[in-house]
Every structure is written in C-alpha cells, then in structure tokens.
Amino acid sequence: MPGIHCEALRALPQIRAGDDLAALIAAVLPDDLGDVDLVAVAHKVVSKAEGRTRRLAEVEPGERARALGAERDRDPRLVQAVLDESVELLSVRGPLICVTRHGFVCANAGVDRSNAAGEDELILLPEDPDATARRLRDGIEAARGVRPAVIVTDSFGRAWRTGQVDVAIGVAGLSPVDTWAGRPDAFGRELHATSIAVADGAAAAADLARAKDSSQPVVLVRGLGRYVTPEDGPGAAPLRRAPEDDLFR
C-alpha cells in the first residue's frame, strides 16, 4: 500500500461564466500527472464557470420564502433561491435542510454566498455535477494527454456530528463506493454490509490539503489508483441513499 497523498495546486484566476475551466485546471496540474491520479475540484469554481450563480437583487421572493424568511430573520430572497434549488425540505427548524434537484440532502440546497465575486452574488450547485466531472476529465485529457479521475466536491454538514466534511457531488472515473459485503475479512469470514464511500473519503482528504480562504479549489489526490477506472462510471449517484432506504427523511 503506497499511501495517499493530497496536494493543493496553485490558485486559479478568478473564474467567470464561460471560462474553460478544464484548461485552467490542466494548466496547474503537475508535469508527472498520471492516469491513476484523482483531481478534486471544489464546486464553486465549477458553478462560476457554468454560470450557476444568481444576483440576490434579481430574486423575487414568493409567499413561502417571505414566511420562512420572516420566521427565521433571513433575507426572503435568499430563502427563495434555496427553495428554487430544492424539491423537498426535510427540516425548517434550524438551517433549511433540503433535498436538492439532484437528490442530495444538504443545508440551504448548497446555495452559498461565501467567496462570491460580488457582495450579492449567490453560488448554486452545478446543474449536473457528474456531467461536469466527465467534461473536466475529457478536457484535462485533451489538454494533457492523460486521463485522471475527477470529482467535484462540496462541504456538507452531517446529522449527529458537528462540522462539515467535503463530499463528492460529481464523479467521473472513480468507483464511488467500494462494497465489501460478502468479501472475506482478515479472518476469512463474511463482512456484513460494509462498503466504503471512497469518493467521499477522497473529497474529505482533499479538503484537508487546502485552507478555506486560500482560493485553491483544485487538489491532486494520489494513491487511489485501484479505484480509478478508464470508463467514467456511475458518477455520484451510488452515494445518494435512495429515499426508500433512508431512515432519516
């Protein structure tokens, strides 16, 4: 086992809608980039490049957003932007815990104001983060001739535990979940229902390599080659628990 190494790459320029993000990422990846490497990209640069931002001033709050905003002393336009990204609210007692249109469960449907270019800019989650990951993988290959796996990450809170950890919201070329059920453990007996969320572990590891205020959205993760696949694979979908299997929604 050669170990896992995570290294934050140098800052990207400020990203604007329409920028060729794959080319910008390809330019900061090291010379010895390999097909067994993994490139973890914080979603905010993706969202900016894909124009997935809104200006708060242009959001028109509806009745529900005004009611929720008043209850919570929050800007009703911000609440409306969150509702616009959500198909369901799981909790309105504290932060709005939302099911996003992709099926992710997270606070505020991933809508964020931090690190936005303008004071009133909102950053949304990418429309289809798996498609983004695939495009970035293709773009990196086009620019560099090697085809590392790509994950798109966001910081999610957790039930029962404080603090955020990064998870993978988009995946291309990485087995997202390593299932051990039925494989023997070190004693040869069956492990019960053990599966490792590899892509989420990689996202969490990558986040440790950068400082939150550092404008370093790209982290190179090495040592996960056994999970990297030539095909793009199922994306992040296997990481989302099906509602019918979910005990907490």
Residue 190, CB half-sphere, CA atoms under 13 Å: how many?
Answer: 4
Q: Does an H or E element contain 81, and which?
A: helix 76-84
Q: Least distance (Å) from a copy of itself to the CB of residue 144?
A: 20
Number of C-beta neighbours around residue 163 at 10 A? 7
The H or E element containing residue 237 is: none
Smallest gap from residue 147 Cβ to a copy of itself (A): 21
Q: What phi and psi values does residue 88 have, to the nearest 5 degrees? A: -165, 145
Q: Which residue has the tokens 């690190």?
A: 115
**106 or 135, CB closer to a copy of itself?**
106
Place of tokens 């955020």: 164
Shortest Cβ 41–a copy of itself spacing (Å): 16
124 contact partners, CB below 8 Å, separation of at least 6: 47, 52, 53, 54, 81, 85, 109, 110, 111
Nearer to a copy of itself, 16 or 142 (CB): 16
CB of 243 to a copy of itself, least distance (A): 9
Q: Which is nearer to a copy of itself, 57 or 247 (CB)?
A: 247
For residue 27, what are its two tokens?
A: 């330019």
- Taking the least distance from each CB to a copy of itself, the nearer of 172 and 203 is 203
Q: Between 63 and 245, whose beta carbon lies closer to a copy of itself?
A: 245
Min dist CB 204 to a copy of itself, Å, is 4
